[in-house]
Amino acid sequence: MITSNDLRRGVVIEVDGTLYQVLEFQHVKPGKGPAFVRTKLREIPSGKVLDRTWRAGEKVRDVRLERRSFEMLYRSDDGIVVMDPASFEQMTLSSEVVGDALKYLVDNTSLEVLFNGSEPIMVEPPAFVDLLVVRTDPGLKGDTASGGSKPATLETGLVVQVPLFIREGERIRIDTRTDGYIERVKA
């Protein structure tokens, strides 16, 4: 058991027999009244997001998960096929388990799979991924790094805001935690 003060982004907790991952948390100390922790939680099996408020110091049941590294081989009709790089054992992860991580994953991407016992429950992509820009509007003469942004569609279908100088066919680095553009990547 942990207290609500120990909640952090990414922690998995159990509430009423259901597993939730903490997406956001905010410790609030109002001028009058007791402190509390405001959280945004994602239900792991379904992906539903809910807001929950905890009293400061309230007991919360945390879940110990095993974290194992895998490499994504390819997408299949019902999810993705991954391989354990140590044993070369392959397994298929369903779309429900992969969830939002699918928009960052291309073939041969390293990723982490979280297991509750022997059951895979969630996929965590790497913090930064390099993806190819497949569609964006052309830049104009005089475009600068700080002059604005435009939408760009990446090879996985993800749409992010990029600087005006980014062109189709370039590789860019994306922060998977914020869906934010980081930098252009040399090939």
Centre a 10 Å sphere on the Cβ of residue 65 and count the other Cβ atoms it contains: 18
Could you read off the pLDDT of 50-91 as tens digits, one per residue? 999 999 888 999 888 899 999 999 998 888 999 999 999 999
* Helices assigned H by DSSP within 20-111: 95-98
Strand order of the β-sheet with 90-94 is 90-94, 79-83, 66-76, 110-116, 119-124
Checking if the pLDDT of 145 tops 90, the result is no
Domains along the sequence of the chain with CATH: 2-62 (2.30.30.30), 66-124 (2.40.50.140), 128-185 (2.40.50.140)
CA within 13 Å, CB half, 76: 14
Checking if the pLDDT of 146 tops 80, the result is no
> Which whole number is the average pLDDT over 158-170?
90
* Helices assigned H by DSSP within the chain: 95-98
Distance of CA 68 to the CA centre of its chain: 16
Percent pLDDT > 90 in the chain is 41
Could you read off the pLDDT of 104-132 as tens digits, one per residue? 999 999 999 999 888 898 888 899 999 99
Percent pLDDT > 70 in the chain is 95
Checking if the pLDDT of 96 tops 80, the result is yes
